[in-house]
Amino acid sequence: KDKEKVDDGDRSWLELLNSVEASISSESEKLQKLTQMILPKFVARLITEMENKMMKQKTNDDRKKKQKTNNINNQRKRQDLEKFMELGLESPPDMPQVFKDCIKDLGGSEIKLIIQKFLQLTDLRSQQNRLSMSLKQIRSTFLHEDEERMLNAKRQM
């Protein structure tokens, strides 16, 4: 029965064996002829099966990578939402008196909350000498009219 399962794609093993035995008398020539007939298709079938397994594995790996990426993105979104809630949905904390005193000592006046944000490395580097403020995060205006005009003039340039 096992021999009936082996074929070259078109004929069963028994048909191949019968045709070879009818035309060739030497056992070594029979074996060589059967090998020439069956081996290329057998190898091609093995290669196809291996390629199919590899494609299936690649598909599974891609699916796992995509799921992992989605999990990471969802986690980041949750963290961003938590930060957003900390920044904007709660009432701002009172500024410590030490900060207010420091601002007054530097010549500041009209002390009010302009922006509440998490500081980034670029905000802290002395070489950059600035504090990045997104217009969407600014809670109240803080420039005087003449300062606003100067800023708008620079923007138009």
Cα–Cα distances (Å) from 74 to 1, 67, 117, in that order, read: 56, 10, 22
Tens of pLDDT along 33-80? 888 877 777 778 888 888 888 888 888 888 888 888 888 877 877 777
Rounded CA gap, 123 and 27, in Å?
A: 86
Residue 123: which residues within 8 A CB-CB, separation 6 or more?
130, 131, 132
Q: Alpha helix locations (H) across the chain?
A: 2-5, 13-23, 27-84, 97-105, 121-124, 145-156
- pLDDT exceeds 80 at position 135: no
Q: How far out from the chain centre does Cα 105 lie?
A: 49
Where residue 26 falls among pLDDT bands split at 50, 70, 90? confident
pTM score, whole prediction: 0.34
Question: For residue 12, what are the β-bridge partners?
Answer: 7
8 A C-beta contact, residue 20 and residue 30: yes
Domain ranges of the chain: 10-59, 112-156
Tens of pLDDT along 78-113? 777 677 666 555 556 678 889 888 889 999 888 887
